[in-house]
Structure 1
Amino acid sequence: MNDSDVRRETLAVTHGERGQAPAPGVEDVVVPVHLSSTYSVPSIDPDADLETLDPDAGEYLYSRLSNPTRNALEHRLAALEGADHALAFVSGTAAIAATMTAVVRPGDHIVAFEDLYGGTKTMLTRLFADRLNVDVSFVDATDPENVAAAMREETALVWMETPTNPLMHLCDIEAIAAIADEGDAVFGVDNTFLSPQFQTPLSLGADVVVHSTTKYLNGHSDSIGGAVVTDREDVLEELTFLQRVGMGSMLSPFDSYLTLRGIKTLPLRMRQHETNAMEIAEFLDSHEAVTRVLYPGLESHPQHDLAARQQSGFGGVLSFELDTDLDGTAEFLGALREFPLAVSLGGVESLIEHPATMTHSPLSQTERDALGISDSLLRLSVGVEHVDDLRSDLASALSVL
C-alpha cells in the first residue's frame, strides 16, 4: 500500500520506523535513540553540501545536521499531516520562529490572528516588529474579510491558530487560504490544539503547519519539542538551513524518541481527551457559578458549525469563566485536587491554567481586556482520567464560591 492508503492510526504506530536497520541483520521494531554526536565517513567529498545531506540515503555526518532518530520522527510527522516534509525543532517556539524567519524579510508585512498564544504574539511584536523591521497587523480572523482587508502588497505571511489559546476562536482555513494565495503570501497554521488527528490544515489549503510537539503529539508532559510540516519546497529549503545551520535548533535524539513513542497512542488519546472534554464542558455549562464555557464542541459555541466542517473532532481543551473575582478564582483553584495549576496542555493528565497571570501575563492589562481574558478566565486541558473523578473534583471546588 502507498502511504496515502494507510490510515492515520497505522501511520501513528509504524511509519518512519520500519526499514531503519541500525546494523546488518538487526531490525529493531522500535527505532533506538541514536545518541552519537558525530559519524565516521568513508572518504573526503569536496562536493558535499551540509545543508542537503540526505539521511534517507544514509548521509550522516553530525547530529545537528541529521540524526536517524530525528529522521524517523520527521517522516512520521509529515505522514500524519499528509505532507512530504517535516522538520523537528527544539521547541514549538523555535519552530514558529524558524518558520517566520524563513518566510519574511525586513520591510515585509505579516497578518496574524489577534488572539494568538501570548508567546507567539510577543515574538511578533518584540522580535519581528521591534527589531527586524517587519510590520505586523493583528486582526479578528473569525471573519475572513478582516484578513482580506489587512492584506497588502508587501504581505509575506498570514499566521493563524485555530482554535486559539485560550479563547477557542476559530478561523475558516479554506477561506483564508484563498485570501493568502491571492495575495501571494505564505499561509501558516498552528495546529497544536487539535493535532493531525482532528485537523489537517494542509488539506484545507495551508502552506505550512506548526506544532508544539510538547503537547498532544508527545502526550506525556516529559519532552519539549516543535515541528514544521510543509510541501512547499521554497519554504523547506529555508527551514532546513535554519534548523541545521542558521539557528541549529534541531530536536535532540532523546526527545525525538520520546515523541515517536508518544505518537503511537495519539489516536487513542485524542478520542478519550475529546470524550472527557465534552462531558466536562456540558457540566460546566450548566453550573450556576460559571458564566461562560468556550468549547467548539458545544452547539452554543458561535463557530460550532465551522468546527464541525473543518475538524474531525473538537479536542481536549476548553476555557471557562467563573462568576467571581481574582480572589475567588484563587480560592477555587486551591480547592482542586485532580487539576494541577500548571502551564502547557495535551498530556494524559488534566491541568488547569490561569491565562491572565500565566500564559498571557506578558500582555498588558489593556491588551488582555481587549481580548476578553479576564481575571476569572481559566483554561482546562482535560486528560484521560475517569471523567467522573474529574467532574466530582470540579463540582467540589465550585462549591466554595
Structure 2
Amino acid sequence: MKEQHLHKDTLVVHEGYEDTEHHGSLTVPLYQTATFSFETASQGEKRFAGAEEGNIYSRLGNPTVRVLEERMTALENGQGTLAFGSGMAAVSAVLVHLTNSGDHILCSRGIYGCTFGLLGIMERKYNIKHDLIRMWNEEEIERAIKPETVCIYVETPINPTMELVDIQAAVNVAKRYGLRVVVDNTFSSPYLQNPLDFGVDFVLHSATKYINGHGDVIGGLLTGNDKEEMESIRMTVQKDFGGIMSPFDAWLLIRGLKTLPVRMERHSSNAEKMIAYLKGQKLVEEIYYPFDRDSSQFAIAQRQMRAGGGIISFTVKGGKEQAQLFMDSLSLIKIAVSLGDAETLIQHPATMTHSAIPEQERLQMGITDSLLRLSVGLEHAEDLIEDMKLAFSVME
C-alpha cells in the first residue's frame, strides 16, 4: 500500500494486497499452482532474463506468497522479505549467504537447539566456526571478535532463558568491524520488536509461532534492509537449495497475521498476570521474563521492546523429577514444544527442545533440569492460574 504511515495494526490487514486484479476478492486469493503460463514465447524469454516482471514458477515466486512477503517487509520496516518452508530454512539460507569456508560466526550464548545443530554441521563439514557468548554490552562482544568473524547472530529474547541481547550494542560493534548482524525475532514478533530499526542487516522468524498464531503451519521468514541483496538471496540460495514456502501455507499465515496485534497484547497481558501469580509460589525459584521489573535486564527490554510477549521461563525446586511432575499434573495447559499458539503450552527444555546440546554447554546457557518454558496462550488468565495451582498442590 502507498500509505506507509499506517500503523502496524492496519498493515497486518491490508499491506501488499489490492483486490483490483483479483475479481474483487476481499480475501487474498490462494494461487495453488506450481507454474504459470506465458502469453508468448518472447514473454517467457523476457521473464527468465529478468527483463520483465511477472510470474514464472512458484519456487521463484507466487502471488499469494508475495502478499505475505510484502506484509512482513512493512511490519519489520525492511526492504524485502523471503518466505521459507520452515524457520530453520530461513536460518540456513541467511547463514549460507553470509559465510564461506573458514569464516567465523559470533552467536548469542543461548540459541534454538536446531540452530545449534546447524552450526555444528557447518563447522564439521565446511570449517565455519562459531562461538557462543553473552552479549550484554559492547565490550563483551568486541573481545570475542576474531579476524575471520563475518557476522553476529543473535536471538533476543533467547530461547528458553529469556535473556536479552542489547541489539544496539551488537550493531555498534558490527559497524566498527564491518560485520553483518542477524537477529532471530521469533519470540517478540514484529509487533513488539523491530531489530532493523537499530541497524541490523537481517531479521528472521519461525513463522510457525506468533506470525501464524494457530499451531497449524510450519514456515520461516527472512527480512533484510537491502532490496537488491534480498532478491539475490531469492535467486541463489533460496532457488537452488529449494527451501520455499507453499502457497497454501502462505495463505494461512496471511490469515493468522491479521490478528497479530490483538493476540500479542493478550499474550503479554496474560503473561504479566501469570508472573504475578508465580512470584507468590514457594516452589518457584527463579522467573525469567523481559518486562519483569525485578529483572536486571529490564532497562534493555524497555529500549528495544514494546512489551514482554507471551513466553515465561521459570525454575522449580526439586530438579527434573519435580519439574516433570508439575507438567504431568497440569490439565488445561498442554505439554508441547512449540509456542505462540492460542493454547497455553509448557515444555522442559533440557529434555526436549535443547536435549541435543551437550550438558556442559546447556548448563552454561542457563538451561538447567529445573527450568520450564511456558508459552502463555489466549485463555482467561484465571483459568490458567487455577490449573497451575492444582499442579503445585501435587508437588507439596
> TM-score, with normalisation over the residues of structure 2?
0.96
Shift of 1:14: 1.0
The answer to whether 1:75 aligns with 2:53 is: no
Shift of 1:146: 1.7
Letter in 2 for 1:204: F
Aligned position for 1:21: 21
Matches of 1:51 and 1:215, distance apart in 2: 37
Cα deviation digits, residues 254-280 of structure 1 (max 9, x gap)? 100000000000000000000000110
Aligned position for 2:4: 4
Runs of 4+ aligned structure 1 residues displaced above 3 Å come to: 45-54
Letter in 2 for 1:393: D
What is the correspondence of 1:2-401 to structure 2 with a 5 Å cutoff? 2-19=2-19, 21-22=21-22, 26-45=23-42, 48=46, 50=48, 52=50, 57=53, 59-125=54-120, 127-233=121-227, 235-242=229-236, 244-401=238-395
Shift of 1:237: 3.8
Contact residue 103 and residue 235 of structure 1 kept, 8 A? no
Letter in 2 for 1:174: Q
Determine helix, strand or coil for the equivalent of 1:41: coil
Q: Percent identity?
A: 38
Cα deviation digits, residues 124-159 of structure 1 (max 9, x gap)? 12x211111112121111233221111233221110
Matches of 2:354 and 2:204, distance apart in 1: 20
Matches of 1:123 and 1:75, distance apart in 2: 28
> Structure 2, unaligned stretches of length 5 or more?
none
Q: Which moved more, 1:368-377 or 1:8-17?
A: 368-377
Shift of 1:84: 2.0
Shift of 1:3: 3.9
Determine helix, strand or coil for the equivalent of 2:334: coil
Does the C-alpha gap of structure 1 residues 128 and 252 become closer, same or farther in structure 2, counting only changes over 3 Å?
same
Cα deviation digits, residues 110-130 of structure 1 (max 9, x gap)? 1111111111111112x2111
Matches of 2:5 and 2:322, distance apart in 1: 53
Determine helix, strand or coil for the equivalent of 2:203: strand
Matches of 2:236 and 2:87, distance apart in 1: 15
Letter in 1 for 2:80: H
Shift of 1:20: 5.9
Contact residue 277 and residue 316 of structure 1 kept, 8 A? yes
Shift of 1:178: 1.3
Shift of 1:250: 1.0
Q: Which moved more, 1:147-156 or 1:69-78?
A: 147-156
Cα deviation digits, residues 371-390 of structure 1 (max 9, x gap)? 22111210000001000000
Does the C-alpha gap of structure 1 residues 388 and 155 become closer, same or farther in structure 2, counting only changes over 3 Å?
same
Q: Which moved more, 1:146-155 or 1:203-212?
A: 146-155
Shift of 1:297: 1.4
Letter in 2 for 1:105: N
Shift of 1:49: 6.0
Contact residue 79 and residue 227 of structure 2 kept, 8 A? no
Does the C-alpha gap of structure 1 residues 98 and 50 become closer, same or farther in structure 2, counting only changes over 3 Å?
farther
Letter in 2 for 1:8: K
Contact residue 320 and residue 379 of structure 1 kept, 8 A? yes
Matches of 1:128 and 1:44, distance apart in 2: 42
Does the C-alpha gap of structure 1 residues 72 and 132 become closer, same or farther in structure 2, counting only changes over 3 Å?
same
Determine helix, strand or coil for the equivalent of 1:168: coil
Cα deviation digits, residues 24-74 of structure 1 (max 9, x gap)? xx12111111111111102224854648587xx4x1121111111001100
Aligned residue pair count: 394
Q: Which moved more, 1:44-53 or 1:275-284?
A: 44-53
Does the C-alpha gap of structure 1 residues 185 and 331 become closer, same or farther in structure 2, counting only changes over 3 Å?
same
Q: Which moved more, 1:103-112 or 1:227-236?
A: 227-236
Shift of 1:241: 2.3
Q: Which moved more, 1:260-269 or 1:294-303?
A: 294-303
Shift of 1:232: 2.1
Cα deviation digits, residues 166-192 of structure 1 (max 9, x gap)? 001111111111111111111000000
Matches of 1:234 and 1:171, distance apart in 2: 28
> TM-score, with normalisation over the residues of structure 1?
0.95
Contact residue 51 and residue 240 of structure 1 kept, 8 A? no
Contact residue 113 and residue 139 of structure 1 kept, 8 A? yes
Does the C-alpha gap of structure 1 residues 154 and 325 become closer, same or farther in structure 2, counting only changes over 3 Å?
closer
Contact residue 336 and residue 346 of structure 2 kept, 8 A? yes
